[in-house]
A and B are shown apart, each in its own frame.
Chain A
Amino acid sequence: MISLVLRTATRYLLSLMLLFSIFLLVRGENEPGGGFDAGLIAAAAFSLYALATDVSAARSALHVDPRTLVGAGLLTAIASGAISLALNEPFLTGHWTGVYLPVVGSFEIGTPLIFDIGVYLVVWGVTLMIIFPLAEE
């Protein structure tokens, strides 16, 4: 019993929610948001998709296995900390650098942001890792 309205709406909602999660992730440094919330939103987006259609469709929309997300997230977080090791500083010391991109303008990018991306991926992956098999049963 899948609602047609929900299914159609979810297609658009999915990309909107993912965009919103990235927005939350990036703005976390200065405004409410951050990797944890963003990860939960991304996971909610795919959970909604799984409920509206079915799990296999949600899995194929995700393209990668949730477990891969978890692994990639942990590695990203560790790698962001390892950068400072290469500079002979304690593990996880923060480093920032200014970047200028046309259209977007100039902004700062740093290892804490990369770490937050790791958190984002882990939270996203772990949540789906639990929800998908449950919804499959």
Chain B
Amino acid sequence: MSKQTITGWIFSILPLSLFFFFLNQIPVISSGEPYTISFMWVPSLNIVLSFHLDGLSLLFSLLVTGIGTLIIIYGSGYLKNHKNLVQFYIYTILFMVSMLGVVLSDNIFCLFVFWELTSLSSFLLIGFENEKEKARSAALQALLVTSLGGLALLAGFILLSQVGGSSELSVLTSYANSIQSDRLYLPILLLILAGAFTKSAQIPFHFWLPNAMEAPTPVSAYLHSATMVKAGVYLLARLHLSLGGTQAWFIILTIIGALTMLVGAYLALSHTEIKRVLAYSTISSLGIMVLLIGLGTYGTVKAAIVFLLAHALYKCALFMVSGAIFKQTGTLNLEQLGGLWRLMPVTMLITGTAALSLSGLGPVLSFIAKELLIESVLTIPQLGFSLTLAVIITASISVAVALLLFIRPFFRNQTFANTFAKEASFSLLFGPGLLASLGVILGLFPGTISERIIEPAIYSTLGEHYSVQLSLWHGFTPALAMSSLAFVFGVILYQKWVDFRNFTTNMGPYLRTGPTWLYDKSIESLHSLANSQTNFLQSEHLSRYLLTVIAITVLLVGFPLVFKASFYPTPVLGEIRFYEVGLTLLIISATVTAITVRSRLAAVAALGVVGYGVALVFTFFGAPDLAMTQVMIETLTVILLVLVLYHLPGFAILSSHKERLRDAILAGATGALMTIFIILGSLIQSFPSISHYYIENSVTLAHGRNIVNIILVEYRVLDTLGEITVLSLAGVGVFALLKLRLGRKEKDKP
């Protein structure tokens, strides 16, 4: 084994030990005792890092850690010699921890943070081959779609916590009645469903999932079939007690779930690349789970949970073997592959077992799941017939897909051009082999999980105890008859697959304006909007920027000032002293000089006079601190300006009369605004002044008598820290700009 493969086995110790930890919790959890721990995180917002392990969380935790272990081992073989293999391990572990966070969080905001983390790690993993343009855009698409849903989810959670009065999931369940009768219930439901549906690739958000197949196969197997995409299903099951059971819930989930199930199945048959076929089949399965949770009876929830487990096992195994086939042959195209049974017999065996599970026939766990599914759907009042029909259509397509995946690559007569293909390595076959055989073992001995895992999971979803007995053989029931019917249809569909493909290819152009088209269009228009807006705002003239900023400030502040003028008290003039008049005249004449004089140096000097005049004003009115600072700033500004002037070309009038008039009006308006502002500020006191507090406590609390300085370094010290940080950054920016110019000049020299 290579060093990197060994690293993979070592990395897998973490998920494996977690897996055993969760296995150990089974006896405690199945006795009905949830396991809770919590830490304060943001007490002021009532956000607690609280974790809650119950039946449903346990099932997901076992899947996440168990499959995670196998994925890391598999990835070590699949990505052998890849230069970013270690990144793969790290991202995968990051994802696993985020996913565990999602399924274990009791606080909804905590859940949301982990939820977004899964989107982020999914982004990193889909874009793993970051040199490929397609991988990057697929990663971005998945991120945009799921985080758009994430935003909706956050809004929904905020409303939910306000309406429900708590942000703990375990508490919210007991307020179900008040939540569901609130007028905000429907918005909450829609927002949260938007989050769940984008994550679980429900129609019309399903399109990101097939594109996410750009990710390396271990990622697709882990995130996009077995775990992350089920986060939405998890959330629905988790919120069933608090939000579920209403008419809106029933209608939306049933319709979207059923549509996703059918469309996913249809699209699965119309593709030729194995990974895409599997992706659409996953979408279809997610639809089934959403449908079952939406129906919300004991029977359907039981079917959903058994199916969820079975699906995770076989779909992950199928993805893994498809990766092995790709690794050995270099293609995943069902129209090119063939005759592999001789070259890859072990892979063939594993694929066969997993495909058996996919078809839901034989002694496998998914057979039990499908029987439960049909049985529970049959008993739904009113909708029973149509839903059963939809389920049977989906089941027959599953059978066809299973046959397609098993027979075409391995037994099709046409020998595949690549005869160098040989059996995949152990690390590539270990995971799928284990998962596929687990599907059979659990199918043969369903008793091992029915009470320990399925029963507690149903209890957490429905809040009532049901005794669960799973068995492989139910006798000759209507469900069995329908399964057989589905099988027959499936075989026929498989034989007509080529015709079906031709049909869907011809249909293709009519279906182009789907959600993908909408997504592309909206991204395109977003770009052009950003472009036109940037072109409009970024004129690349400093004077224009200043003009925009100042004009907008004057307008925004000026309007309310003018409109509310009647509320203002009239200012009372104090006594005017002669030196105040003199000082004012000095400042005004210096200002006039600064704007009329035809020499830069003179203008700078005149501005300096203005500044020193203001410093004098500060001195007269008892602010020596401000005066001192003003003098210093004024001095340094003059130095700076002189230094800069030295580099400027000779004085010239560049602007037209009109432009100067406009600038004069704007400058006058700004001055007037500031004057009114300052006068009003001294007249209107909306809140009691806090200067008394400052003065009274400065010596006792802050050990100083200079209030100005005490405010800077004691009372508002965090602000000062922020200010000096900004100052430093601005300094670095100026420095960089100056150095850039200097560097260029030196280069220009010979």
Q: Chain A interface (Cβ within 8 Å of chain B)?
A: 24, 28-37, 40-41, 43-44, 47, 51, 67, 70, 73-74, 77-78, 81, 91-92, 94, 96, 108, 110, 112-113, 115-116, 118-119, 122-123, 125-127, 129-131, 133-137
Q: How far is the CA of A24 from the CA of B731 in the complex (A)?
A: 23
Instruction: Tell which of A29, A70, A127 touches B709, judged by Cβ atoms closer than 8 Å.
Output: A29
Can you give 28 contacting A-B residue pairs, CB < 8 Å? Answer: A29-B706, A29-B709, A31-B705, A31-B706, A33-B709, A34-B706, A34-B708, A34-B709, A34-B712, A34-B713, A35-B713, A36-B629, A44-B635, A44-B636, A47-B639, A51-B639, A67-B735, A74-B725, A77-B721, A77-B724, A94-B701, A112-B717, A115-B717, A122-B724, A127-B636, A129-B732, A133-B738, A137-B742
Which 8 A/B pairs are nearest by Cβ-Cβ distance? A126-B731, A29-B704, A40-B632, A34-B709, A133-B738, A32-B624, A112-B713, A134-B643
B703–A108 touching, CB < 8 Å: yes
- List residues of B (695-730) whose CB comes within 8 Å of A's CBs: 701-706, 708-710, 712-714, 717-718, 720-721, 724-725, 727-728, 730
In chain A, what residue has the closest Cβ to B628? A37
B624–chain A nearest beta-carbon distance, Å: 4
Chain A interface, >50% SS class: helix
A81: chain B residues at CB < 8 Å are 717, 721
| B708 / chain A contacts, CB cutoff of 8 Å | 32, 34
Q: Could you say which of A41, A91, A129 contacts B735, with CB atoms under 8 Å apart?
A: A129
A36 to B734, CA, bound (A): 20
Measured between alpha carbons, how far is A47 from B706 in the docked complex, in Å? 28
Q: Is the CB of B721 within 8 A of A123?
A: no
What is the CB-to-nearest-CB distance from A108 to chain B, in angstroms, rounded to a whole number? 6
Q: With a CB–CB cut-off of 8 A, which chain B residues contact A40?
A: 629, 632-633, 636
Cβ-closest chain B residue relative to A30: B705
- Say if the beta carbon of B564 comes within 8 Å of chain A: no
- Decide: A112 near B702, CB < 8 A? Known: A130-B734, A130-B738: yes
Residues of B within 8 A of A (CB-CB), count? 44
Report yes or no: B643 in contact with A30, Cβ–Cβ below 8 A.
no
Would A78 and B647 be within 8 Å (CB), given that A29-B705, A33-B625, A47-B639 are in contact?
Answer: no
Partner of A32, one of B701, B706, B720, B731: B706
B739 contact from A36, A113, A126, A133, Cβ within 8 A:
A133
Instruction: Name which residue of chain B comes closest to A130, CB basis.
Output: B734
Cα of A121 to Cα of B120 in the assembled complex, Å: 40
Is A92 a contact partner of B709 (Cβ separation < 8 A)? no
Q: Which residue of B lies closest to A120 (CB)?
A: B724
Once the chains are docked, how many angstroms separate the CA of A36 from the CA of B709? 9
Contact B727 A122 (CB under 8 A): yes
Partner of A119, one of B628, B706, B724: B724
B703 pairs with A130, CB closer than 8 A: no
Interface centre among A67, A73, A113, A129 (most CB of B within 10 A): A129
Query: A136 contacts which chain B residues (CB < 8 A)?
Result: 742
Bound complex: CA of A91 vs CA of B728, how far in Å? Answer: 21
**A134, B704: Cβ atoms under 8 Å?**
no
| Cβ A41 vs Cβ B632 within 8 A | yes
A41, A78, A110: the one contacting B721 at CB < 8 Å is A78
Residue pair A126, B727 in contact (C-beta under 8 Å): yes
**Complex interface: chain A residues within 8 A of B732 (CB):** 67, 70, 129
Q: Is the CB of A92 within 8 A of B706?
A: no
Let me know if B640 is at the binding interface, CB within 8 A. Answer: yes
Q: Is B644 engaged at the interface, CB distance under 8 Å to the other chain?
A: yes
Q: Please state if B632 and A134 are interface contacts (CB–CB under 8 Å).
A: no
Chain B residue contacts of A73, Cβ below 8 A: 724, 728
Question: How far, in whole Å, are A14 and B406 apart by their CA atoms in the complex?
Answer: 88
Chain A residues near B709 (CB-CB < 8 A) = 28-29, 33-34, 116
Given A31-B706, A44-B636, A125-B731, are A119 and B720 also a contact pair (CB < 8 Å)?
yes
Bound Cα distance from A1 to B724, whole angstroms: 37
